[in-house]
Amino acid sequence: MLDYAWLMLLFPALGTLIISLFGTRLGKRAVSILAPAMVFLSFVVAVAAFVSLLGLPVDERSREVTLWRWMVVGNFSVDAALLLDQLSITMALAVTCVGFLIHVYSAGYMHDDERVPRYFAFLNLFILAMLTLVLANNYLLLFVGWEGVGLVSYLLIGFWFEKPAAADAGKKAFIVNRVGDFGLLLAIMFIWTGIGSLRFADVFALAPQVWPAGSAVVGAVTLLMLLASTGKSAQIPLYVWLPDAMEGPTPVSALIHAATMVTAGVYMIARSAVLFDLAPASGNWVAWVGVLTAFFAGTIALTQTDLKRILAYSTVSQLGFMFIAVGVGAYAAGIFHLVTHAFFKALLFLSAGSVMHALNGELDIRKMGNLRVKLPTTYWTFLVGAAALAGIPLFSGFFSKDAILFAAFEKQLPVWIIGVITAFITALYSFRMVFVTFWGQERDRRLFNHAHESPRVVTIPLIILAVGAVLTGYIGLPAISAIDGWLAPAFHPAGAAAETHSVALELILLVVSGLIALAGVFAAYQAYMVDPDLPKRVRASLGRVGRLVENKYYIDEIYDMFVVNPLRDLGGWLGGVFDRRGIDGAVNGLAGVTGWLGAQARRLQTGMVGLYALAMLFGAVALLAWLATR
Amino acid sequence: MFLFVVFALIALAAAVGVITSRKPVYSALFLLLNFATLAALYIMVEAQFLAAVQIIVYAGAVIVLFLFVVMLIGGGELDDIGGRNKKFLARLTWPRGIALVLGLGLLVAVGYGLLSGQLMTATNDAAAFGQGSVQAIAAVLYTDYALPFELASILLLVGMIGAVALAQPPKKD
Amino acid sequence: MVPTSYFLILSALLFTIGTLGVLVRRNVLIIFMSVEMMLNAVNLSFAALARHFLDLNGQIFMLMVMVVAAAEVAVGLAIVMAVIRNKDTTNIEDVNLLKG
């Protein structure tokens, strides 16, 4: 079965091809069935591959499937080949499963849009690119997938390109990601020059011999990878594009900008575990970037009033948690959180989409309230998602976040402290959303009366995702840690001894984080249900700091001031002054000189045939004289 | 050798006559003389067929054409070489001076070029070359040069059509 | 036999006289005649060299020159007629439409 894993890529590729070529002729209905069906087939293949991988002994659970020799240039050769191991198959399962559910949801959600075929063609293309990214067996193919998902992200953020905000957001995402991609490209070149191969297996086998632990080159490679990941996975300093990416359709936000694409950076760092183990300093950087991003994005999420933007900042924050995990070397925990997050964040986004749908596109939570009466299914699914996000005990986020915090506690105590505070904030803003949106009094009667539950094509994926959001947590129960044992060989092919944890310590920390989550929920209840003035008082007491947070730390403004505006001015100068005066001036000047020369030369053209003949004779004599005397 | 000198002198005199006559009709007649002596010289270099062609085409057709044109435009005296009673030096305007100098230069250059080879030797008077006859020329012309020969006929046709088209009086609108 | 070089010298002289005619005279017809003379001078050298090298190709070339000259005269004189009709002159200094 593993040899047929390429079918996973074939189906979405076929879907993209058919829909983009014949989509409009097939009609919305057929397209809405075809696209999810293709992803479902991919999912089936992924499950089959997973099962057959399970059937193999542990040390054989890594299989490469070479499709064709991609390019050979001198002694540089790259295969188009897939790597099937525990890590890639886990990612593939998450991508296809969540992807399929979101495709189904989209069929209902995008029903009224006139560009349904284009939408589904992009969405299928995204699945193709994402699977290429996670299944690649070398860095170059990974880069292809990396760029592919970036492209689709751009296309789908700007899907409603008539809206200037959407078009701008698409551009912003693309350009900011470019900064990160440049890092990845440099890292790949470093790897090639250092090791002479881009195949994961070769790189990880040779890296410890070529690069001594802590050497400068491996540090540069890993830091460049970190740069790439901060772009794709929206970490400080390149996270600015993700909140704006919410201009795209909500299912896109759920699939690309929450569940799958943005986790690519985490995946790549986890995949390059061997390299990061060689560069402990880079690992620290990763962890600190992660925890700071988690904290600051969490605080921003507290002050936002747009439902999708809150979720966007919470995504940034949760990705920060994953970075903490891979930074402190707890790769399995990071991937574990990645998977649970994929489910509960997709669930939250899709529920938010359902709310938005019900309220005619309204996303301001200040205009909502008491919606649980009108949208019971959406309320419950959202509640499950929020509980998982907040880390309420027994929901998936609880286990995965705890696994991360436990790892941080062991390796980096300061990181753990900030992480715990962030966990509290997470619970606070999660339940702020729940309370403000679904509880209390309705604030806008007209919107409230208009509200209606979404159709079943929307709610059924929500329910399935809700079940997933609860259950995925149990694959990583402490002390059992199925996912840990499953994934571990993928990170340390050499077969490093599994670390033994103190179960008692882990349980104590588990209780602590559970309590913290509950405290967050309680605080949210106090602030938004019992005493609605409390947030205002808190804000007043915070003064300047409060304003700073409310304005998202002025990061966008700082970028505008130091990056965007100087570049725009430079562009304006180049276009207005340099191009017009310098380049155009040179060209026009040249034309002017030529014209002047022509005006002088036309005087020679007397029209007197005699003179012409004379000149010709002169030439002939000169030529003959030269020939004769040569 | 005697014949060559005679004909050469006639040819040169006729040539000078062509470019110095005041009346175009004299020029045309000098040109006829020049062509005829050249035909005689052709015979001396074993180009009998071409001598005949020279007489027919040049002395016959071309000169007649010139004479027709002279007749059409009138054969009055021309003043483009200066007034009849001016001194030679007065006629020597600066373009003419340059032309004379360059002409001499041309003569020197061409002469030097032609004679710098081994051409000063006497001729290859091979009996085998007594073949500037019609048969010999035709044998080459209709085999190796068949295509250029046909093309030449097309050129003549084009020339004829062109001449007819140009000579037509402009249409009155 | 007359040496080839004599013919060549005669040819060069005729060619130069023709050239001078073209340069010095301003009457279109005379210029035309001078051009014809130059062509004949070249033909003479062809004939002499054909005999010198015992090569008939030279004579073939003379034939081609004559063909071209015949066509040229026909067209050229037609042009002269057209010019005379339009400008009522045979002086080339009065015909300077190409003046830049």
pLDDT band at A211 (very low <50, low <70, confident <90, very high): confident
Residue B84 is predicted with a pLDDT of: 55
Contacts of residue A324, Cβ cutoff 8 Å, sequence gap at least 6:
A287, A290, A291, A294, A334, A404, A407, A408, A415, A419
Report the pLDDT averaged over residues A417-422. Answer: 90
The pLDDT tens digits for A5-43 are 888 999 999 999 999 998 888 888 888 899 999 999 999
Residue A372 is predicted with a pLDDT of: 82
Q: Using CB atoms within 10 Å of the CB of residue A541, give its burial: 0 to 12 exposed, 13 to 18 middle, 19+ buried.
A: exposed
When CB atoms are compared, the residue of B41, B80, B125 closest to C44 is B41
User: Is the CB of residue B66 less than 8 Å from the CB of residue C32?
Assistant: yes
Contacts of residue A473, Cβ cutoff 8 Å, sequence gap at least 6:
A340, A388, A394, A395, A396, A397, A398, A399, A400
Q: Tokens 């700082």 — which residue?
A: A558
Residues of B whose CB is below 8 A from A628? 109, 112-113, 116
Q: Residue A500 pLDDT more than 70?
A: no
Contacts of residue B87, Cβ cutoff 8 Å, sequence gap at least 6:
none
Query: In residues, how long is chain A?
Result: 630
Residue A369 is predicted with a pLDDT of: 80
**Mean of the per-residue pLDDT values for chain A?**
86
Residue A612 is predicted with a pLDDT of: 81
Q: Residue A403 pLDDT more than 90?
A: no
Residue A495 is predicted with a pLDDT of: 46
Among A225-229, A498-502, A529-533, the minimum mean pLDDT is found in A498-502
Which residue from A375, A344, A345, A396 is spatially nearest to A242, judged by alpha carbons?
A: A345
Query: How does pLDDT run along chain C (100 residues), one tens digit per residue?
Result: 778 888 888 888 898 899 888 888 888 888 889 999 999 999 998 988 888 888 888 889 999 999 999 999 999 988 888 888 887 777 777 777 766 6
Report how far apart, in Å, the C-alpha atoms of B26 and of each of A19, C29, C38 are: 91, 12, 18
Q: Count of CB atoms within 10 A of residue B173's CB?
A: 3
Residue A452 is predicted with a pLDDT of: 79
Quick check: A610 contacting C, CB < 8 Å? Answer: yes
Residues of C whose CB is below 8 A from B169? 85
pLDDT band at B168 (very low <50, low <70, confident <90, very high): confident
CA atoms of A256 and A104, how far apart (whole Å)? 15
User: Is the CB of residue A457 less than 8 Å from the CB of residue A104?
Assistant: yes
User: Is the CB of residue A408 less than 8 Å from the CB of residue A328?
Assistant: yes
Residue A189 is predicted with a pLDDT of: 92
Q: Residue A524 pLDDT more than 70?
A: yes
Q: Residue B115 pLDDT more than 80?
A: no
DSSP C90: -
Q: Residue A434 pLDDT more than 70?
A: yes
- Could you tell me the two tokens for A19? 């829909």
Closest-approach residue (CA) in chain B for A625 = B109
Interface of C with A in 66-85 (CB under 8 A): none
B1-77 placed in CATH 1.10.3720.10: no
Supply the pTM of this predicted model.
Answer: 0.67
pLDDT band at A544 (very low <50, low <70, confident <90, very high): confident
Closest-approach residue (CA) in chain B for C58 = B47
Q: Which of A603, A604, A608, A611 to mutate to test the interface with C (most CBs of C within 10 A)?
A: A608
Residues of C whose CB is below 8 A from A602? 100
Residues of B whose CB is below 8 A from C44? 38, 41-42
Q: Residue B69 pLDDT more than 80?
A: yes
Contacts of residue A224, Cβ cutoff 8 Å, sequence gap at least 6:
A183, A184, A186, A187, A190
The pLDDT tens digits for A175-192 are 889 888 989 999 999 999
Q: For A373-407, give the DSSP string.
A: HH-HHHHHHHHHHHHHHHT-TTSHHHHHHHHHHHH
Q: Residue A271 pLDDT more than 60?
A: yes
Residues of B whose CB is below 8 A from C53? 124
Report the pLDDT averaged over residues A79-91. Answer: 89
pLDDT band at B82 (very low <50, low <70, confident <90, very high): low
- Could you tell me the two tokens for B13? 């005199």
Q: Taking the C-alpha atoms of B25, B29, B34 and B38 in order, what is their torsion angle to the nearest 10 degrees?
A: 130
Q: Tokens 């091809």 — which residue?
A: A17
CA atoms of A297 and A418, how far apart (whole Å)? 13
CB contact under 8 A, A610 and C92: yes
CB contact under 8 A, B106 and C19: yes
CA atoms of B55 and B37, how far apart (whole Å)? 10
CA A270, distance to chain mean position in Å, is 15
Domain segments of chain B: what residues?
A: 1-77
pLDDT band at B87 (very low <50, low <70, confident <90, very high): low
Q: Residue A525 pLDDT more than 70?
A: yes
CB contact under 8 A, C98 and A614: no
Q: For B94-140, give the DSSP string.
A: HHHHHHHHHHHHHHHHHHHHHHTSSTTS-----GGGTT-SHHHHHHH
Question: What is the least distance, in Å, from the CA of A621 to any CA of chain B?
Answer: 5
Query: Which CATH entry fits the domain spanning C4-87: 1.20.1440.120, 1.10.287.3510, 3.30.460.10, 1.10.10.10?
Result: 1.10.287.3510
CB contact under 8 A, B105 and A625: yes
Higher pLDDT, A114 or B33: B33
Residue A453 is predicted with a pLDDT of: 81
Residue C29 is predicted with a pLDDT of: 87
Residues of B whose CB is below 8 A from A610? 95
Residue B114 is predicted with a pLDDT of: 64
Residues of B whose CB is below 8 A from A625? 105, 109
For chain A, list residues whose CB is within 8 angstroms of any CB belonging to chain B: 610-611, 614, 617-618, 620-621, 624-625, 627-628
Which residue from A156, A123, A31, A110 is spatially nearest to A455, judged by alpha carbons?
A: A110
Residue A226 is predicted with a pLDDT of: 92
Domain segments of chain C: what residues?
A: 4-87
When CB atoms are compared, the residue of A604, A606, A614 closest to C23 is A614
Q: Residue A616 pLDDT more than 50?
A: yes
When CB atoms are compared, the residue of B8, B95, B155 closest to C71 is B155
Task: Taking each helix axis as running N to C, give the angle between helix A216-232 and helix A139-157, from 0 to 180 degrees, rounded to the nearest 10.
Answer: 20
- Strands (E) located in A47-118: 62-73, 76-85
Share of chain B above pLDDT 90, in %: 24
Residue B7 is predicted with a pLDDT of: 92
pLDDT band at A573 (very low <50, low <70, confident <90, very high): confident
Report the pLDDT averaged over residues B151-172. Answer: 85
Q: What is the biggest distance separating any 2 CA atoms in chain B, rounded to whole angstroms?
A: 66
DSSP A152: H
Which residue from A61, A34, A258, A293 is spatially nearest to A153, judged by alpha carbons?
A: A258
Residue A496 is predicted with a pLDDT of: 47
Residue A489 is predicted with a pLDDT of: 74
CA atoms of A365 and A431, how far apart (whole Å)? 12
CB contact under 8 A, B110 and A624: yes
Residue B169 is predicted with a pLDDT of: 74
Residue B173 is predicted with a pLDDT of: 59
CB contact under 8 A, C96 and A607: yes
User: Is the CB of residue A306 less than 8 Å from the CB of residue A364?
Assistant: yes
Q: Tokens 């009346």 — which residue?
A: B23
